[in-house]
């Protein structure tokens, strides 16, 4: 058997389906041929690689989202009854989701106390009086209400994690790497090269004191420093405390690549539309009826109100995000975890590439909630993926957020 035969055997049939004698011949040849050994090794690595289950995607909504406008009608699923929110019992953080269960109906056994609604959404009819001022304030605050309820749940989980008798330690890893800009002069001359930069990862996960230790040409040093300064890390955690790590090195490689052939190519996706027809205050006012539904614990009514807003109005990306987060909140309360996670991801994703102007912790929050729902469902890999997206987006992560990530890694999830 020669290299050509090995390639043909691997092309036609994956190694696990090759006849035993053919596989033996392939392996015998590979022992004396580096290239074929590597090809066989790659084939085996790919074969061993697992693909997660396909998530439930709302295709109608995705297709309808063309031109930036999603018609919610096609994706609706109506339920005839309102189920109480299912509060999972967590190995860690059992109380966390109790905080989210503010609209659960009926009593609950275990799982922690039912929290009162956040202060900003205090029931305006308390004491039999319904002052207009309180009602107006409440109607402006449905989004804040959701934010506060979810933040309370996240904080409960954080507290549980920090109370672990032996908090997991975890090493640092990169959350965000920003590609350097190619120096125009180097690009014009098709000059390729590299630069090695050494830096410290601070307790906050930022890059400090970057210095170039080696480069093929000084021209590559400035963009390398600029890029590494914008990187973000999950810091090393020891005994529940983040510590700085010095002396990390990164190599930035600059390669001029050939332009793509144009024939038969699909073009770049269109930029997402962001203009809307509602002002900030108009949008908030439209959410008033939905808040009324929330106060009645009528979550289907909330969903219908939100659907109506989406069907009638063209929304900005931020408004879409805020609406998606409320959808996520409602679906979570209804126990529809898949749709809840999809909604939270929809809420966070448009603002997922920092630095996004106006990006703040609010937009990172949905990733944390999605991570907690996965965690509750014992889907640690998905939880870690979402937690990393959270850390990438959040401005001021807490030490417990790092412990959460390390806990998920300890439970078997990997950084990918």
Q: Residue 127 burial (CB < 10 Å; 0-12/13-18/19+)?
A: exposed
ω into 355 cis (within 30 of 0): yes
> Among 254, 327, 329, 337, which residue interacts with other proteins (rule: CB under 8 A)?
254
414 contributes a contact to other proteins by CB under 8 A? yes
Taking the complex as a whole, the smallest distance from the CB of residue 130 to other proteins amounts, in Å, to 38
> Among 20, 21, 32, 52, which residue interacts with other proteins (rule: CB under 8 A)?
52
Looking from the CA of 220 toward its CB, the CA atoms found within 13 Å total 23
Distance CA 341, CA 334 (A): 12
Distance CA 378, CA 245 (A): 31
# binding residues, other proteins (CB under 8 A): 94
Nearer to other proteins, 136 or 181 (CB): 181
Report the chain's terminal Cα–Cα distance, integer Å.
Answer: 37
Q: 249 near 196, Cβ under 8 Å?
A: yes
> Among 48, 129, 133, 190, which residue interacts with other proteins (rule: CB under 8 A)?
48
> How far, rounded to the nearest angstrom, does the alpha carbon of residue 67 sit from its chain's CA centroid?
24
268 contributes a contact to other proteins by CB under 8 A? yes
Taking the complex as a whole, the smallest distance from the CB of residue 147 to other proteins amounts, in Å, to 21
Nearer to other proteins, 160 or 345 (CB): 345
Task: Tell which positions 171-190 bind other proteins, by CB under 8 A.
Answer: 171-174, 177-182, 187
Helix (H) or strand (E) holding 197: strand 193-201
> Among 27, 37, 307, 335, which residue interacts with other proteins (rule: CB under 8 A)?
37
Q: Which stretch binds other proteins (CB under 8 A): 93-101, 136-144, 169-177, 318-326?
A: 169-177
269 contributes a contact to other proteins by CB under 8 A? yes
29 contributes a contact to other proteins by CB under 8 A? no
Distance CA 380, CA 403 (A): 14
Task: Tell which positions 115-154 bind other proteins, by CB under 8 A.
Answer: none
216 contributes a contact to other proteins by CB under 8 A? no
Angle subtended at Cα 112 by Cα 323 and Cα 134, rounded to the nearest 5 degrees: 45
Place of tokens 């919610």: 72
DSSP for 98-114, written as a single string: HHHGGG--S---SS-PP
87 contributes a contact to other proteins by CB under 8 A? no
Task: Tell which positions 219-248 bind other proteins, by CB under 8 A.
Answer: 223, 227, 236, 245-248
Taking the complex as a whole, the smallest distance from the CB of residue 394 to other proteins amounts, in Å, to 16
Long-range contacts formed by 1-9: CB under 8 A, 24+ apart: 1/25, 1/26, 1/28, 1/29, 2/29, 3/29, 3/33, 3/35, 3/36, 5/29, 6/30, 6/33, 6/36, 6/39, 6/40, 7/36, 7/39
51 contributes a contact to other proteins by CB under 8 A? yes
Taking the complex as a whole, the smallest distance from the CB of residue 333 to other proteins amounts, in Å, to 23
> Among 147, 320, 385, 401, which residue interacts with other proteins (rule: CB under 8 A)?
385
345 contributes a contact to other proteins by CB under 8 A? yes
60 contributes a contact to other proteins by CB under 8 A? yes
Q: Which stretch binds other proteins (CB under 8 A): 47-55, 97-105, 131-139, 332-340?
A: 47-55
Task: Tell which positions 275-294 bind other proteins, by CB under 8 A.
Answer: none
Taking the complex as a whole, the smallest distance from the CB of residue 408 to other proteins amounts, in Å, to 10
18 contributes a contact to other proteins by CB under 8 A? no
> Among 27, 144, 198, 295, which residue interacts with other proteins (rule: CB under 8 A)?
198
Distance CA 416, CA 413 (A): 9
350 contributes a contact to other proteins by CB under 8 A? no
Taking the complex as a whole, the smallest distance from the CB of residue 252 to other proteins amounts, in Å, to 5
Measured from the Cβ of residue 229, the count of other Cβ atoms closer than 10 Å reads 14
């Amino acid at each position: 058997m020669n290299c050509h035969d090995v390639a043909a055997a691997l092309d036609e049939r994956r190694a696990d389906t090759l006849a035993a004698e053919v596989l033996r011949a392939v392996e015998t040849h590979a022992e004396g041929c580096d290239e074929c050994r590597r090809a066989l090794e790659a084939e085996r690595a790919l074969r061993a690689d697992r693909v997660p289950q396909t998530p439930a995607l709302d295709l109608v909504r995705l297709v309808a989202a063309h031109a930036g406008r999603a018609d919610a009608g096609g994706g609706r699923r109506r339920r005839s009854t309102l189920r109480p929110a299912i509060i999972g019992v967590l190995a860690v953080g059992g109380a966390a989701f109790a905080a989210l269960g503010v609209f659960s109906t009926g009593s609950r056994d275990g799982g922690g106390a039912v929290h009162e609604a956040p202060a900003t959404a205090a029931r305006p009819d308390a004491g039999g009086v319904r002052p207009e001022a309180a009602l107006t304030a409440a109607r402006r605050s449905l989004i804040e209400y959701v934010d506060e309820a979810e933040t309370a749940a996240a904080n409960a989980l954080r507290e549980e994690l920090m109370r672990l008798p032996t908090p997991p330690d975890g090493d640092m890893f990169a959350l965000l790497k920003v590609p350097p800009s190619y120096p125009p002069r180097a690009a014009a001359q098709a000059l390729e090269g590299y630069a090695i930069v050494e830096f410290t990862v601070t307790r906050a996960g930022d890059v400090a004191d970057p210095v170039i230790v080696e480069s093929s040409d000084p021209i590559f040093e400035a963009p390398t420093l600029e890029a590494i300064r914008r990187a973000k890390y999950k810091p090393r955690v020891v005994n529940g405390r983040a510590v700085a790590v010095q002396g990390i090195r990164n190599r930035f490689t600059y390669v001029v690549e050939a332009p793509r052939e144009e024939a038969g190519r699909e073009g770049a996706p269109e930029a997402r539309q962001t203009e809307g027809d509602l002002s900030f205050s108009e949008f908030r006012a439209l959410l008033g009826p939905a808040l009324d539904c929330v106060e009645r614990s009528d979550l289907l009514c909330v969903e219908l109100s939100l659907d109506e807003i989406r069907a009638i109005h063209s929304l900005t990306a931020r408004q879409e995000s805020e609406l998606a987060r409320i959808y996520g909140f409602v679906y979570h309360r209804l126990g529809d975890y898949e749709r809840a996670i999809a909604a939270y991801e929809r809420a966070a994703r448009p603002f997922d590439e920092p630095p996004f102007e106006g990006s703040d912790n609010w937009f990172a929050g949905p990733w944390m909630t999605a991570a907690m729902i996965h965690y509750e469902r014992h889907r640690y890999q998905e939880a870690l993926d979402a937690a990393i997206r959270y850390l990438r987006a959040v401005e001021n992560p807490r030490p417990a957020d790092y412990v959460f990530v390390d806990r998920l890694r300890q439970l078997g999830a990997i950084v990918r």
